[in-house]
Amino acid sequence: MQRFKDKVVFITGSGSGLGRQAALRFATEGAIIAGADISAANNSETAALVANAGGRIHIGNSVDLTDEASVTDWISKAADELGGIDVLYANAGATKFNPIEKTTLDEWDWVLKHELDLVFLPVKHAWPHLAKAKGSVVLVGSTAGVSGSMTNTRLAHSATKGGIIAMTKQLAGEGALHGIRVNCVSPGMIRTPATEGDLLADDHPMKNIQRAIPLQRIGTPAEVISCVLFLASDEASYVTGTNLMVDGGWSSVLPGFGVI
């Protein structure tokens, strides 16, 4: 399937994790990738994987997505070289977890910068290019943006992910005037190297969380990226402003008797 043949897809956080998975998947469907990551070395590894798979990718130097000058430099150079922007997948993000009594103002500001600013800046500066292409934006929320937790102390993270979901709806309204669709995927518990090192670690209270998930298992990165590709594609041409929960039903159904 070549849903993105010759389309230009910008991906933030393309050096690892879901961003790398997305670069590979979009490339296999014919897209030309523009990847941004704080780690130039990791991004180069992604570029090699995409090239080895027969895909096309443009990468530059390290991009600090919390710095406006760095973002504008990346977007202007890559968009000029590749001929515009058809899709923006604003995947990048970093967070810290702490209960409110241990969350300092510096930590609060850090999380907002690394989960909201680094979404706002690429969207803002890609917007004129997306308007020309009548393009598509996919943001990344979370189950943390729609429900609280008694097992994971994450006030700042919850605030930012709730903010991303709210941004999706507002941007969908503003984007409709320009033919831009804006949607969001909100993953639940996904098995990645990062989650295996903290939330799914043997000493974390969420290690057995699959028992509270209706589908009784942890999700995979591929399952999240399949939803990203759908929302970004013409198959979702009448979908905008949607927050798609990719969580095995976790946020929809209360745990059954004996689960917790």
**For position 41, what pLDDT does the model report?**
95
131, 134, 4, 116: which is closest to 65 by C-alpha?
Answer: 116
What type of residue sits at position 139?
A: L
Cβ atoms of 81 and 58 within 8 Å: the answer is yes
pTM for the predicted model, two decimal places:
0.93
Question: What residues contact 73, with CB distance under 8 A and at least 6 apart?
Answer: 60, 63
Could you list the pLDDT tens digit for every one of the 260 residues in the chain?
A: 799 999 999 999 999 999 999 999 999 999 999 999 999 999 999 999 999 999 999 988 899 999 999 999 999 999 999 999 999 999 999 999 999 999 999 999 999 999 999 999 999 999 999 999 999 999 999 999 999 888 889 999 999 999 999 999 999 999 999 999 999 999 998 887 777 766 777 777 777 888 888 898 989 999 999 999 999 999 999 999 999 999 999 999 877 655 55
Domains of the chain, residue spans: 8-188+221-243
Q: Which tokens go with 99?
A: 């209960």
**For position 152, what pLDDT does the model report?**
83
DSSP state of 97: -
Our measurement of the distance from residue 173's CA atom to the centroid of its chain's CA atoms, rounded to an integer in Å, reads 20
C-beta neighbour count of 70 within 10 angstroms: 18
**For position 259, what pLDDT does the model report?**
53
Q: Which CATH fold would you assign to the domain 8-188+221-243?
A: Rossmann fold (3.40.50)
The SS3 assignment for 181 reads strand
Torsion angles phi and psi, residue 185, rounded to 5: -110, 135
**For position 258, what pLDDT does the model report?**
52
What type of residue sits at position 6?
A: D
